[in-house]
A and B are shown apart, each in its own frame.
Chain A
Amino acid sequence: MLYRTAGQFKTSYTADQALFPVRQDAILLGVILVFAYLIFPLTASEFAFQTLLIPILIYALAAMGLNILTGYAGQLSLGTGAFMGVGAYACYKLITIFPWMNPIVAILLSGVFSAGVGVVFGIPSLRIKGFYLAIATLAAQFFLVWLFEKWAWLYNYNASGAIQVPNLDIFGLYVSGPQAASVTQYYLVLGVVTLMSILCINLTRGNLGRTWKATRDMDIAAELIGINLMRSKLVAFAISSYIVGVAGALYVFMWKGAAEPNVFDIPLSFQVLFIAIIGGLGSILGNYLGAILIVGLPVVLNLVPSALGLPISSAMVEHLNVMIVGGLIIFFLIVEPHGLAQLWRLIREKLIIWPFPH
């Protein structure tokens, strides 16, 4: 009923390929955007901003970057955490070397550095495939995190070895550091994420996206029909690392406020990979769904024991959380290996024909 598509005719190929072939999709997105831009910021508590809204957006962005590489171009990467680190450290250096720089410009520029690093570590993908490539990206992961620790220039030689975000303002409004309000940070993150999403949706629908999909599905066949594999793979590495780098800069500047090198260690890479896979490889929507699940789940699980009045220590809750998350990952993989995005596609198809079975 709600999703009835009757009466919505397509008279041209362009209309059929439009972003929203079904009007209800556009309305649904509009409602979500109203919530994201108006209702959440007005109603959310400080706790909700810091544990749910901001991290979900940042993780979704990082997963989107990874999804470009793994889901669209088919190159499995386990080095996402380190590339986020490159973005964060690049942003930190930009801010400290050019203190007059607009923070938003710095964040967007920092992705350029991680894109460069991404291309360098993407070069082996021209010869190495599959799991061998996945392990090769681990070389980037471990090497870069080691570099963050040992290269004192990166954290301005301070004694703690961590990067500390200064108070930064845009026209007098603090956007990062201890004085920044969560709402401001939320809007900034939301803006960047919206921008990147639009970019990704259009990239993956266009020529480049089709090139990537051909590379993913069978690279030799893609080469035979005239696709330049080297260009296709390296561009995928560059764009993916750019987005991941921006997510890393946001991660430290808009959320954590400070970061030690081990923050960017391999658990972060896996967390982002989980989001991309549970959400659905080769889908933009999936990144958001996956991020909501993976970020939201531990928060909810933390609340359960106290809500039920169970006497469990917080360390125990932590351990149980890890176990439950692991179990749920297996559960979701078994139930729907193509991810939550596929689940939504199925639901949507059911809704269109509802209440009839066919």
Chain B
Amino acid sequence: MLYDFLIQPFVDMATAPDFFLQVLWEGLVSGVLYALIALGFVLIFRSSRIFNFAQGIMVVFAALTLVGLHAMGVPAWIAVALTLAVMFVLAVTIERVVLRPLVGQPDIILFMATIGITLFLIGLGETIFGGENKVMISEELGIPTGDTVLEPWGGLLILQHLDITVVVVATLLVAGLLAFLNYTQMGRAIRALGDDHQAALSVGISLQTIWVLVWFIAGIIALVTGIAWGARAGVSFALEVIAYKALPVLMLGGLESITGAIVGGLMIGMLEKLFEIYWGQPFLGGNTETWFAFVLALIVLLFRPQGLFGERIIERV
């Protein structure tokens, strides 16, 4: 029994390396998407200390808007541009209507407000576009289909072109974002705000502009994630569950760290897949992906309460 649980899975991994790689690859792809959502969280948290629960629903909302616009006969790429415009309007509205009156309130109140936004967007999305499952317009957007079959060690490794595209696009997006944060004036302002609110304000950085900007970037990330995930699994409010997956990623990586979000996302994506295939399905009845990431993050947190890359918590009385 103990052997089965502790040793056998590793023997299985070693004897069928192609299958192991396949599992790892699929985990990596979902990990990339988790990391993207977590990145949206981190940006908003760093610049405003708001724990934005609505990030997940923004993913769904962006994807729904895109598909909905296309269904109304708008050409695919114009629909993308229009969706971006919608996300911008959303960012401005959220800043004006919700965040500005709540400046300086305790964290939990702002957190609840983002849950309020979540409910509002769910209701709005369902009212406008209906609650049923929709198909992402992957073909019109030129997302490749088909797959490449590799044969390492005489085994079989299937790489979906869609997944490869997702990984490449996500990498480009992250690289672009990092460049933006490090080399442009706006980006440096965002980081300054993350480091010290008061100091940033005193050198003339506008809080309101940055907040709108940050929420808009989170909206862009949401759209990319929505397209990618929608192409894999269809567009519906079930997508919301991936938002919950971003939470343990944040815990693991640390709420303030961009590196943490990326590393945490990839780690959780791969580990939860491995656990599900080698331990969850044989021993625990499957579907362990719903909680594995949380429990893993919890265990890590017991040893590092600020996550792997988070800011060290210094407390003064």
Residues on A lying within 8 angstroms of B by beta carbon are 70, 76, 124, 127-132, 134-136, 138-139, 142-143, 145-146, 149-150, 218, 220-221, 224, 266, 270, 273-274, 277, 281, 315-316, 318-327, 329-330, 333-334, 337
Contact = CB atoms under 8 A, between A and B. Distances in A.
A330 B131 contact: no
29 contacts: A124-B298, A124-B302, A128-B301, A131-B51, A134-B51, A135-B247, A135-B248, A135-B250, A136-B301, A143-B291, A220-B317, A224-B317, A270-B115, A274-B115, A277-B108, A277-B112, A315-B131, A316-B127, A319-B126, A322-B119, A323-B123, A326-B118, A326-B122, A327-B116, A327-B120, A329-B119, A333-B112, A333-B116, A334-B101
B247 A333 contact: no
A326 B307 contact: no
Contacts, number: 137
A139 B295 contact: yes
Contacts of A321: 123
B248 A329 contact: no
A131 B291 contact: no
Given A277-B109, A330-B113, 13 more contacts: A127-B302, A129-B305, A132-B255, A134-B51, A136-B297, A138-B244, A139-B295, A146-B291, A150-B284, A274-B115, A320-B127, A322-B123, A329-B116
Contacts of A270: 115
B112 A273 contact: yes
B124 interface: yes
B217 to A, nearest CB: 21
B107 A131 contact: yes
A127 B294 contact: no
A320 B126 CA distance: 8
A70 B294 CA distance: 21
Interface of B: 51, 97-98, 101-102, 105-109, 111-113, 115-124, 126-127, 131, 244, 247-248, 250-251, 255, 284-285, 287-288, 290-291, 294-295, 297-298, 301-302, 305-307, 313, 315, 317
A4 to B, nearest CB: 35
Nearest to B114: A330
Contacts of B250: 135
A326 B298 contact: no
A128 B302 CA distance: 7
Contact of B287 (A150, A281, A316): A150
B261 to A, nearest CB: 14
A316 B107 CA distance: 33
B150 to A, nearest CB: 34
B149 to A, nearest CB: 34
Q: Which of A220, A273, A327, A337 has the most B CB atoms < 10 Å from its CB?
A: A337
Nearest to A334: B101
Q: Which of B248, B295, B301 has the most A CB atoms < 10 Å from its CB?
A: B301
Nearest to A224: B317
A135 B53 CA distance: 11
Contacts of B113: 329-330, 333-334
A337 B295 contact: no
A135 to B, nearest CB: 5
Closest 6 CB pairs of A and B: A323-B123, A326-B119, A326-B120, A322-B123, A139-B294, A329-B116
B128 to A, nearest CB: 9
A142 B290 contact: yes
B119 A325 contact: yes
B111 A131 contact: yes
Contacts of A143: 291, 294-295
Contacts of A266: 244
